Amino acid sequence: MASFNESGRLMNKYPKTKSDPICKWRNASIDTVVELVSFLPKQRMSKECFRYRMSSLYDGAFFRTPYQLALQLALYYEDDREYIPRFDHDISSEEAKQYMQKWIQRYYVPNPFTKRGFINIVPSINLLYGLVDYLENHSNKPNLATAGAALFGGEMGNILCVKYVLNEYSNIIEVDRDNDMKLLLNKGGKIEVYNDRDDKKAFFEHFT
């Protein structure tokens, strides 16, 4: 059913193809980033040792949801044998802000840590620049939910988490209380990311 709202706020629902760009454990705030980095080991170690050290955090729930946000933020990489951290020191709020401002310019979906949706989205899409391109071509339908449906072929989940990182870190897109977007700067970038969506190492190195 087509929307009669110019912003595109009234949209179809696609439950079978709902895609979550960012997990909803917490907003990726500066405080959360600083906290996660403070808990993560600062040196490389075996996967077994890392898992043991982190197993008691968040009342034993780190590897349920918090870890997913840490991985989506590329704060560490883990393969079958080894853990590798992004930072070798605890970071300040200013360092976290600078990192996140760079992160939002590089973040793409789908990636190894987006567990749901993004069916047949190949290649992956730079989230920020995909939305910029959408706004440039659909200025009469600026709603974030509608843009997500257009980019990913279905409903975009965890929209408030996406809204948060755009408003806090992009300096390009502003999202209002109705989830309508506004371009603050006419600044685009490369949309397609040709990493394998399941390649964890390539995702981690993408933010180096």
For the chain, the maximum distance between any two Cα atoms, rounded to a whole number of angstroms, is 56
Cα–Cα distance for residue pair 102/203, rounded to 1 Å: 14
Q: Kindly state the DSSP code that residue 138 receives in the 8-state scheme.
A: -
Give pLDDT, residue 42. Answer: 98
Task: Judge whether 178 and 9 are in contact, CB under 8 Å.
Answer: yes
Q: How many residues does the chain have?
A: 208
Sign of the four-CA dihedral 55, 57, 58, 63: negative
Q: Where are the domains of the chain?
A: 17-24+94-205, 30-92
Kindly tell me the burial class for residue 94, based on how many C-beta atoms sit within 10 Å of its own C-beta (0-12, 13-18, 19 or more): exposed
pLDDT single digits (tens) 126-159: 999 999 999 999 989 899 999 999 999 888 999 9
pLDDT single digits (tens) 75-100: 999 999 999 999 999 999 999 999 99
> What does pTM read for this prediction?
0.90
- Vertex 158 angle, CA 31 and 65, to 5°: 60
